[in-house]
């Protein structure tokens, strides 16, 4: 496959950025999107040019570090992480636009790399439980209803990639924040900090400059782990409960 890749190049946080076009060839359909970027970077290095900076780590769809906007969609045309997107999703001769996450809470560091530490600070505001130290408790010591366990597991799959923020027209982090609240608030172990958790997480989210939720639903469509839209409603209920 031969492709034209138009990539956002920005040398630093305070520099002016722009889209730059590159031609890449000998791309195989089974390659991942990041492997295609590796091929491009190898060509740039050989020609004495600055390679494109982009985040990646596990390349297994687990860590959430690889997120970019591809042709206007967070993570690209399939509901998966960028590292798990394969070039068979494109056709020979395609023009592909690649941009970083666009949100006030995600300032650009360089090229496609953004600072997503705002999500870490949201978690630090309440994403924990009070638990005694020592050996692990017996597995069945605290019964958890199956329905609650399923809600917790569904929301615990969030990898904090930030696709929900990038996809939202308001740059909202509500789906991410709601996943953290739902994950812990439905479990018995999360009850001691239940009110403190939701108030702290929402306050931290607002302080980081993320926008408000208007129930557009783009976050759910972009989420590679399928965090349910109902989690946002759960967050709203928990916030009202804690506020009262």
Residue 39, pLDDT > 90, answer yes
**Residue 190: per-residue pLDDT:** 92
Contact 219, 167 (CB under 8 A): yes
**Residue 23: per-residue pLDDT:** 97
Q: Report the percent of the chain where pLDDT is more than 70.
A: 100
Please give the C-alpha separations between residue 233 and each of 156, 213, 228, 238, 239, in angstroms, as whole numbers: 17, 11, 10, 9, 10
Contact 145, 215 (CB under 8 A): no
**Residue 138: per-residue pLDDT:** 79
Q: Compute the average pLDDT of residues 152-166.
A: 97
Please give the C-alpha separations between residue 76 and each of 25, 46, 169, in angstroms, as whole numbers: 20, 28, 16
Two structure tokens written together for 191: 């009850």
Per the prediction, the chain carries an average pLDDT of 95
pLDDT, tens digit (0-9, with 9 covering 90-100), for 90-106: 999 999 999 999 999 99
**Residue 9: per-residue pLDDT:** 98
State the burial class of residue 138 (Cβ atoms within 10 Å of its Cβ: 0-12, 13-18, 19+). exposed
Q: Compute the average pLDDT of residues 118-138.
A: 86
Q: How far apart are CA 21 and CA 70, in angstroms?
A: 14
**Residue 198: per-residue pLDDT:** 97
Domains and CATH numbers, the chain: 3-110 (3.10.20.30), 116-130+143-243 (1.10.1060.10)
Q: Compute the average pLDDT of residues 200-204.
A: 97
Q: Compute the average pLDDT of residues 29-58.
A: 97
Q: Please tell me the pTM assigned to this model.
A: 0.93
């Amino acid at each position: 496959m031969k492709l034209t890749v138009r990539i956002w190049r920005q040398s630093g946080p305070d520099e002016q950025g722009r889209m730059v076009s590159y031609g890449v060839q000998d791309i195989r359909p089974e390659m991942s999107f990041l492997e295609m970027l590796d091929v491009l970077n190898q060509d740039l290095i050989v020609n004495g040019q600055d390679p494109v900076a982009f985040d990646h780590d596990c390349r297994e769809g687990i860590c959430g570090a690889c997120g970019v906007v591809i042709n206007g969609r967070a993570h690209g045309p399939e509901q998966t992480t960028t590292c798990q997107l394969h070039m068979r999703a494109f056709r020979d001769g395609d023009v592909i636009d690649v941009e970083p996450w666009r949100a006030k809470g995600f300032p650009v560091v360089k090229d496609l790399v953004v600072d997503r530490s705002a999500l870490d600070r949201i978690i630090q505001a309440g994403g924990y439980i009070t638990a005694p130290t020592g050996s692990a408790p017996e597995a069945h010591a605290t019964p958890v209803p199956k329905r609650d366990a399923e809600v917790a597991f569904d929301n615990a799959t969030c990898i904090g990639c930030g696709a929900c923020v990038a996809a939202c027209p308001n740059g909202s982090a509500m789906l991410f924040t709601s996943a953290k609240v739902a994950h812990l608030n439905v479990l018995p172990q999360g009850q001691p900090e239940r009110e403190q958790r939701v108030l702290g997480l929402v306050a931290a989210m607002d302080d980081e400059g993320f926008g408000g939720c208007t129930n557009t639903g783009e976050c759910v469509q972009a989420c590679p782990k399928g965090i349910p839209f109902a989690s946002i409603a759960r967050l709203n209920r928990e916030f009202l409960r804690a506020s009262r």
